[in-house]
Amino acid sequence: MPKNDNMLAILWMLNAGGKMTAKQISEKLEINIRTVYRYIDALCASGVPIIADPGHHGGYRLLNQFIRSPLVFNMEEKKALLHAAVFAKEAGYPLSEALEQAASKLKMYSNQEQESSLNRHIADFEVINRKGDPSVQPILLELERAIAQKYAVELLYHTGREERPKARVLDPYGMINWNNKWYTVGFCHLREEIRSFRVERIVQLKQTSIRFKRPEVFSAREFFMQRLLPDISGKDGLISLIIEGRSEALDDLCHHWFLGHHLQERTAKQAIFLLEEVPIHTHIPYMLLPFGKSIQVVEPRSLKERLVVVASELIEHYRL
- Give the pLDDT of residue 69: 52
What is the second-level CATH architecture of the domain 136-228?
A: Roll (2.30)
User: Residue 107 and residue 117: Cα distance in Å, rounded?
Assistant: 10
User: Residue 292 and residue 317: Cα distance in Å, rounded?
Assistant: 18
Residues contacting 176, CB < 8 A, separation 6+: 182, 183, 184, 185, 196, 220, 221, 224
Q: Which fold has domain 3-68?
A: Arc Repressor Mutant, subunit A (1.10.10)
- Predicted TM-score (pTM) above 0.85: no
- Give the pLDDT of residue 1: 61
- Give the pLDDT of residue 120: 83
Provide the H-helix boundaries in 255-300.
277-282, 284-288
- Give the pLDDT of residue 68: 52
- Give the pLDDT of residue 22: 87
> Are the CB atoms for 247 and 218 separated by under 8 Å?
no
Closest CA to 239 of 273, 200, 215: 273
Read off the pLDDT of residues 252-265 as tens digits, 9 standing for 90 and up: 999 999 999 999 99
Q: Is the pLDDT of residue 101 over 90?
A: no
CATH 3.40.50 correct for 239-319:
no
Q: Exposed, middle or buried by CB within 10 Å (0-12, 13-18, 19+), for 159?
A: exposed
Read off the pLDDT of residues 102-153 as tens digits, 9 standing for 90 and up: 888 777 767 777 778 888 888 878 888 777 677 788 899 999 999 999 999 9
CA angle 292, 296, 302 (to 5 degrees): 105
Q: Is the pLDDT of residue 193 over 90?
A: yes
- Return phi, psi of residue 162, to 5°: -115, 150
Amino acid at 191: R
Distances (CA, A) of 291 to 118, 252, 275: 42, 10, 20
- Give the pLDDT of residue 207: 92
Residues contacting 75, CB < 8 A, separation 6+: 45, 47, 114, 117, 118
Amino acid at 207: Q
Residues in the chain: 320
Closest CA to 63 of 31, 8, 123, 108: 108
Average pLDDT over residues 4-19: 79
Domain residue spans of the chain:
3-68, 75-123, 136-228, 239-319
Average pLDDT over residues 220-240: 90
- Give the pLDDT of residue 140: 92
End-to-end Cα distance, the chain: 87
Helix, coil or strand: residue 237: coil
The H or E element spanning position 43 is helix 33-45
Longest Cα pair distance anywhere in the chain, in angstroms?
Answer: 92
State the average pLDDT for the chain.
87
Read off the pLDDT of residues 15-55 as tens digits, 9 standing for 90 and up: 776 788 888 888 888 888 899 899 888 888 877 788 888 87
Contacts 24+ apart (CB under 8 A), 109-114: 109/49, 109/63, 109/66, 109/69, 110/47, 110/49, 110/63, 110/78, 111/44, 111/49, 111/50, 111/51, 111/63, 113/44, 114/44, 114/47, 114/49, 114/75, 114/78
- Give the pLDDT of residue 174: 94
